[in-house]
């Protein structure tokens, strides 16, 4: 185990005897003499160790100590000396080993606990009970980030996330399926000030540049307690899907910033089809080109000031007017008029939504 070795490494300069960690079978897990890692202790040692009922004992000028996890012996530690000082050093080292083990355990559990809350149907009682056991506060603001990466090496992605958020008490991350990871993070005042979206952008840019993969990050809603953590996750999923439907370009989707897309996503398909047929009889919207949609976007952006929109779109004012007239010819909607513009914009979103649904159906067939 690499982590025990890290511990050994840290004390090597303080303790000038060989020191090590051995599992109950006698295999050396970590040792200041790195050559011994993975090897077995001599059989005579093992026999002695197993038979010995003391917590601390000396065999052949080696001092050993049992390190427990609950009632069970977890590992043995040893030092190559039988002096009193060496024994004290070993005692201290053993305390570290024990703490380290507990810490790893809780770290492991934290993530799997969050995973259970999100992916399984734990009862409220179970959540509260396990939270207490793991010493995880129930009522604390948390955010779920859904991180989608296409084709990254699992370990690498987890490793990047873990190192971006090394603070295990406030951040947990785990993989949920082939290309999705979750980051559950308690939200501190500083995060809120900086903006949760900033964290998402940071994750996106960092993961994609470290791993050279396309990365999307979706933000759920803030959950006030563990009991609504699942909801936060579900909202992150909705943000991911609606983001993909309505704003393909954006690599960060925030549930709280879905705009009209959120509403449309919840509409029954049938109503959408009727609405579209009503606004654009005979499917006339299929003849629209991107230019027309961009023009509308531009007009919205500039409060329907045509000159300004022309500036934003980098076209001549007359081109904007020409496009507006073209839209009017096809649809009868005069998008200089706010009401008509709203109808047009919603219709364009609905058409995006329907084409998403159609695609889903195609995939199923």
Residue ranges that bind ligand ADP, judged by CB under 6 A: 248-249
Task: Identify the residue among 93, 181, 288, 344 touching another protein (CB under 8 A).
Answer: 288
Rule CB under 8 A: is residue 202 a binding residue for another protein? yes
Residue 203 binds which entry of ligand ADP, another protein, none, CB below 5-8 Å type-dependent: another protein
CB of 248 to ligand ADP, least distance (A): 3
CB of 299 to ligand ADP, least distance (A): 16
Residue 214 binds which entry of ligand ADP, another protein, none, CB below 5-8 Å type-dependent: another protein
CB under 8 A: which stretch of 117-125, 177-185, 285-293, 324-332 binds another protein?
Answer: 285-293
Q: Which is nearer to ligand ADP, 274 or 357 (CB)?
A: 357
Rule CB under 8 A: is residue 206 a binding residue for another protein? yes
Residues 230-269 that bind another protein (CB under 8 A): 248-249
Rule CB under 8 A: is residue 34 a binding residue for another protein? no
Rule CB under 8 A: is residue 323 a binding residue for another protein? no
Q: Which is nearer to another protein, 125 or 286 (CB)?
A: 286
Task: Identify the residue among 213, 224, 227, 321 touching another protein (CB under 8 A).
Answer: 213
Rule CB under 8 A: is residue 72 a binding residue for another protein? no
Three-state secondary structure of the chain: CHHHHHHHHHHCCCCCCCEEEECCCCEEEEECCHHHCCCECCHHHHHHHHHCCCCEEEECCEEEEEEEECCEEEEEEEECCCCHHHHHHHHHHHHHHHHHHHHHHHHHHHHHHHHHHHHCCCCHHHHHHHHHHCCCCCCCCEEEEEEEECCCCHHHHHHHHHHHCCCCCCEEEEEEECCEEEEEEECCHHHHHHCHHHHHHHHHHHHHHHHCCCEEEEECCCECCHHHHHHHHHHHHHHHHHHHHHCCCCCEEEHHHCCHHHHHHCCCHHHHHHHHHHHCHHHHHHHCCHHHHHHHHHHHHCCCCHHHHHHHHCCCHHHHHHHHHHHHHHHCCCCCCHHHHHHHHHHHHHHHHHHHHHHHHHHHC
Task: Identify the residue among 156, 187, 302, 346 touching another protein (CB under 8 A).
Answer: 156
Q: Which is nearer to ligand ADP, 72 or 249 (CB)?
A: 249
Residue numbers of the site for another protein (CB under 8 A)? 151, 156, 159-160, 163-164, 166, 198, 201-206, 208-214, 248-249, 285-286, 288-290, 293-294, 314, 316, 348, 351-352, 354-356
């Amino acid at each position: 185990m690499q982590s025990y070795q890290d511990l050994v490494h840290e004390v090597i300069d303080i303790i000038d005897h060989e020191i090590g960690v051995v599992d109950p079978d006698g295999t050396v897990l970590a040792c200041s003499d790195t050559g011994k890692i993975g090897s077995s202790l001599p059989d005579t040692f093992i026999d002695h160790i197993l038979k010995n009922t003391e917590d601390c004992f000396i065999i052949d000028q080696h001092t050993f100590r049992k390190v427990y996890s609950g009632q069970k012996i977890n590992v043995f530690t040893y030092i190559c000396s039988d002096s009193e000082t060496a024994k004290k050093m070993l005692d201290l080292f053993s305390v570290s080993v024990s703490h380290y083990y507990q810490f790893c355990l809780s770290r492991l559990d934290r993530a799997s606990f969050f995973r259970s809350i999100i992916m399984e149907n734990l009862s409220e009682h179970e959540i509260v009970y396990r939270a207490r056991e793991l010493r995880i506060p129930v009522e604390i603001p948390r955010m779920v980030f859904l991180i989608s990466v296409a084709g990254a090496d699992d370990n690498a992605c987890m490793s990047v996330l873990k190192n971006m958020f090394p603070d295990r008490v406030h951040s947990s991350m785990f993989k949920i399926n082939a290309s999705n990871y979750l980051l559950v993070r308690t939200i501190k005042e500083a995060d809120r000030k900086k903006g949760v979206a900033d964290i998402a952008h940071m994750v996106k840019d960092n993961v994609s540049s470290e791993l050279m993969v396309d990365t999307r990050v979706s933000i759920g809603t803030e959950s006030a307690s563990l009991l609504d953590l699942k909801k936060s996750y579900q909202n992150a999923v909705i943000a991911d899907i609606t983001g993909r439907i309505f704003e393909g370009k954006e690599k960060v989707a925030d549930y709280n910033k879905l705009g009209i897309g959120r509403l449309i996503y919840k509409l029954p398909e049938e109503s959408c089809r009727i609405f579209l047929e009503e606004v654009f009889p005979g499917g006339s919207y299929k003849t629209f080109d991107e230019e027309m949609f961009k023009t509308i976007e531009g007009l919205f952006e500039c409060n329907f000031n045509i000159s300004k929109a022309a500036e934003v779109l980098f076209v001549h004012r007359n081109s904007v007017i020409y496009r507006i007239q073209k839209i009017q010819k096809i649809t009868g909607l005069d998008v200089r008029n706010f009401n008509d513009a709203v109808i047009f914009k919603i219709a364009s979103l609905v058409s995006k939504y329907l084409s998403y649904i159609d695609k889903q159906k195609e995939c199923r067939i």
